[in-house]
A and B are shown apart, each in its own frame.
Chain A
């Protein structure tokens, strides 16, 4: 069974930083591209970033480019999202998600990031 468990969310002040982690199990992590998708309170889903299986290809939404950095450690079956210069509009539940053949298939339970003074 595929399991994706996010951690690292919390309350941070505007301009601050936070690092999210996602622990993956139940599949060969090193064979799949991974994504971060977020959902602001009461709003829809927004794709944030994607990283290929070997980290060769990395993509970001324009809204986070230059502020967020996605990375992975295949030896630790882990995905990360380093978030800097956080803004109020970054407040959301952040989901770790597995990609299969250009579709997002599996989702974690999410971790809440709140940016507020």
Chain B
């Protein structure tokens, strides 16, 4: 099973909105509402930003939102801030036992 497909990079100016796509198949993204998004700053561990497609954990700013249509999930960052510059990964539970989870290829977000 291949990694989920994300754009390599997305950029925006402070205050703008950006959207990162995550495309999979009916065996992962399209088959379950178990899509998560992680933020990773250089040298740091990933941090959960969105779970079950569109839910935010406590402490995550509401400018982060998630959605899904068919086999593609999306993460939108509204009101982009300098501290949002990081790598972002999507992930989905899969119908297979191997892999149990599949991650996206990763997107580098640059705040101009």
Contact = CB atoms under 8 A, between A and B. Distances in A.
B104 interface: yes
A95 B51 CA distance: 19
Chain A interface, DSSP helix/strand/loop, else mixed: strand
B98 A59 contact: yes
A61 interface: yes
B9 to A, nearest CB: 14
Contact of A61 (B47, B57, B93, B99): B99
A44 B102 CA distance: 11
A50 interface: yes
B112 interface: no
Given A61-B99, A62-B98, A44 B89 contact: yes
Contacts of B32: 102
Contacts of A59: 97-98, 100
Interface of B: 3, 32, 34, 36, 38, 44-48, 51-52, 57, 89, 91, 93, 97-106
Interface of A: 35, 37, 44-47, 50, 59-62, 65, 95, 101-110
